[in-house]
A and B are shown apart, each in its own frame.
Chain A
Amino acid sequence: MNNEFQRTMIIVGIIFVALLGTSFGVAMASGNGIGTFGIVIVAGLFNAMLLFLVAAGLSIVFGLMDVLNLAQGAYFTIGAYVAWQFHHAPMFAGIPADLRFVLGVLLATVIGAILGIILERGLLQPLYERPIFQIVLTFGVGIVIGEILKAIWGTAGKQWIEPFGLQQGLFVVFGQQFSIYRLFVIVIGFILIIAIALLLRYTRIGIIIRAGVEDSEMVEALGINVRFVFTGVFTLGCAVATFGGAVAAPFLGAGLGVGQGFLLGAIAVIVLGGLGSYEGTAIGSVLVGLAGQVVIQVTNYANSINIDPETFGGGSFLAGLLNYSTDVVGMSVWSSLTPMILLILVLLLRPSGLFGKER
């Protein structure tokens, strides 16, 4: 067991080194200096934290009750819209911008928690006897939420127009400037990762959750109401996803498709990490987040140089493939495809994921 954990950590380490090495190599080769390497790290971690916020709830909820909450992406979108609306409403224009952002995020989180309770108590609870319908239902709820958001805010996405203090401050990584807001999101993400880990490890409720993920029937046999714990975790998962959407809104804006992308990314994360495994989710988020940015960097680079099969040495097939991939399909696609391709690869090669048990 311990041996296997060590082996997994070695695999994870190799993947990290490969990703960062590729990024560093491309940054050096592109001649722009080390700046793009900094972009990969900051943007990658930024995405990773957002992915984690969606994936954490998804993973624990699935571990407890085998329910995959496909509405989680919609909650992310709700968070983005609520935060955007609160920040840009003329009614609250008197509040200082920084405070308004924080209040907006808090409001979004509360709304997410309330909607989470409604979904779990009102809609999922009647379906405890029919687990597959629960997944079908969350799929439907995600669509309904999307339609309601569309009815309220229209189809066009909302851009974050009014900046606030955090966004204007700058910090420098490898000669590349970023707004402090990005650092803020990354730090908050890390704090949450650690906080949830501590919660799971050292509190009684955390022990119940971990035991429930291991074997929920056994926990129930011990006289603990797993359903009740499940409701709490489900609500927390929805709240955290909404929080993620709200926190990301200044950067991503609020749009109908925002959540879906992160939902698929988060599903990739939890499958990669191993369904129900918390450390897998945390590490998987960072892996998927970084991988997306590395792919963007590489395709950018491949696009900027015109790869000539003659000068590419013997690898004319590879050169042709690179040319084709950037000319024909458009490079932006590759980054949005990355989580899905990772997901498919994991399912093909190691379906139980990095830290998962054989199921």
Chain B
Amino acid sequence: MIKQRSIGDTIRITLQSNWFYLGLLAFLILFPYLVAWFTGDPVGGVGGRPRGESVYWQSVFIEVFIFVILAMSYNLMFGFSGVISFGHALFFGIGGYTTAIILGKTGFINWMTGILQPLSDMMINSFGFADDFNMALTLSLIIASIVAIAIAGLVGLVMGLVTLRLKGVYFAIFTLALSEVALIWVRTWGFTSAEDGFSVTDLPDFINPTRFRINYYYFALICTVLVFLIIRRLMNSPTGRVLLAIRENEDRAQAIGYNTLRYKLLAIVLASMMAAVAGIIQFGFNKRVGPEMFSVRFTIQPLLMVIIGGIGTFSGPVLGATLLDLSETIFDREFVFGEFTLNVGEYWSLILGIAFIVVVLVFPQGIVGTVRTQWQKYRSSRPVDSEKAQNTG
């Protein structure tokens, strides 16, 4: 018989089993203030402008969050479902470009403003909303983002439907080809200013990264946490178990009676939507989109981050993305050793590539997986301790 847990117990268990993530989250929430406290530069920037150390580190971490989302979504496909894609940049780019096109190229904002003007006036006059609260702009952004995410999901769905009945490698080929098509297309598409890309200046003030970087930092953080929670919830559900079974042995999962195609489609659609979220955050952060969003960089980086961090784990992609993106920020400069100057930034891709090969060959489970295996080995080699731990825990 299952004993009903009290609310207090639930909270205690949640805290106990997630202390690491909760601690990390608390640290990330406090992080801008910590930097501000250490360096003396205010959180909101100097003189109304986004300057100073705190704001700089906020930007660095916004970039990290973008890659964390991208890596987590890649892990959902590759690590948890065993579906390999060589065109993740496609979804990233679709997210950014769709939002930017809707906001910047279609007159959607004007249309929304026209419709919502009376309502917006009423809210400001009667309900005490701030004067600069622009409801039309906010709603436009939300709608555009939803459309972008939906389109990315739809593209993922179609790609999956077309290729998943075949061998796994067809999906990889298809994504590779489609992302290349998208890159070539966007590079020459006059509508989006081809190679230059285009900027969108109309963003709601409260989320505008040039005015309130700190708000954008928290926005990106919330998105990251949400994506993390969705993936964890999914993987701890029966559906997630089936996905893992498919990764381990698809034929067997099929033989048991699961429609593996449907499960894999679900993973792909969710992953492409999450990649689109990352693209939208990237677009909002730069307030512009360019063809580089479709470049192979946004496919390789998440692949690398997942493999280095630990494939098929929850914390692996987070760790991998944070590590790689931070070290790129830190090492992307010239190092002088006496007479010898080394420009690490110039060789960064080479270093990453070699690290990638070494990890695939030597530590196929990545950092998290390797540490976990070693830890379990260590635990099992000391039976007395583990028994004691079981008794007390």
Verify B357–A68 contact, CB threshold 8 A. Answer: no
Question: Closest A-chain residue to B167, C-beta based?
Answer: A359
Verify B357–A328 contact, CB threshold 8 A. Answer: no
Given the interface pairs A140-B356, A328-B191, the reply to whether A337 lies near B185 with Cβ below 8 Å is yes
Chain B's interface size range is: 35 or more
Partner of B82, one of A70, A132, A333: A132
Question: Closest A-chain residue to B347, C-beta based?
Answer: A151
Verify A136–B173 contact, CB threshold 8 A. Answer: no
A66 at the interface (CB under 8 A from B): yes
Residue interface bits B8-22, CB-to-A below 8 A is 1, else 0: 000000000000000
Given the interface pairs A123-B361, A136-B84, the reply to whether A147 lies near B353 with Cβ below 8 Å is yes
Per the bound structure, the CA–CA distance linking A70 and B163 in Å amounts to 19
Partner of B357, one of A130, A137, A148, A264: A137
Partner of B189, one of A132, A140, A328, A344: A328
From B52-60, B64-72, B176-184, B253-261, the one touching the partner chain is B176-184
B303 at the interface (CB under 8 A from A): yes
A330 at the interface (CB under 8 A from B): yes
A95 at the interface (CB under 8 A from B): no
Per the bound structure, the CA–CA distance linking A340 and B174 in Å amounts to 9
A127 at the interface (CB under 8 A from B): yes
Given the interface pairs A132-B84, A351-B163, the reply to whether A337 lies near B356 with Cβ below 8 Å is no
Partner of A333, one of B168, B188, B303, B354: B188
Per the bound structure, the CA–CA distance linking A144 and B351 in Å amounts to 8
Verify A347–B357 contact, CB threshold 8 A. Answer: no
Residue interface bits A326-359, CB-to-B below 8 A is 1, else 0: 0111101100110011011001100100000001
Verify A135–B172 contact, CB threshold 8 A. Answer: yes
Given the interface pairs A147-B353, A329-B189, the reply to whether A264 lies near B169 with Cβ below 8 Å is no
Verify A136–B180 contact, CB threshold 8 A. Answer: no
Tell me how many residues of A have a C-beta within 8 Å of chain B: 41
What's the nearest-Cβ distance from chain B to residue A59, in Å? Answer: 12
Partner of B350, one of A136, A148, A267, A337: A148
Verify A133–B360 contact, CB threshold 8 A. Answer: yes
Set of chain A residues within 8 Å of B185, measured between Cβ atoms: 329, 333, 337
Q: Which residue among B167, B184, B189 has the maximum number of chain A CB atoms within 10 Å of its CB?
A: B184
Residue interface bits B282-309, CB-to-A below 8 A is 1, else 0: 0000000000000010001001000100
Closest 9 CB pairs of A and B: A144-B353, A147-B350, A330-B188, A328-B190, A140-B356, A340-B181, A340-B177, A333-B188, A143-B353
10 A-B residue pairings within 8 Å (CB atoms): A139-B303, A144-B356, A144-B357, A147-B349, A264-B180, A336-B184, A337-B184, A343-B173, A351-B165, A351-B170
* B positions within 8 Å CB-CB of A: 82, 84, 86, 162-163, 165-170, 172-174, 176-178, 180-181, 184-185, 187-191, 194, 296, 300, 303, 307, 347, 349-350, 353-354, 356-357, 360-361, 364
* A positions within 8 Å CB-CB of B: 62, 66, 68, 70, 123, 126-127, 130, 132-133, 135-137, 139-141, 143-144, 147-148, 151, 264, 267-268, 271, 327-330, 332-333, 336-337, 340-341, 343-344, 347-348, 351, 359
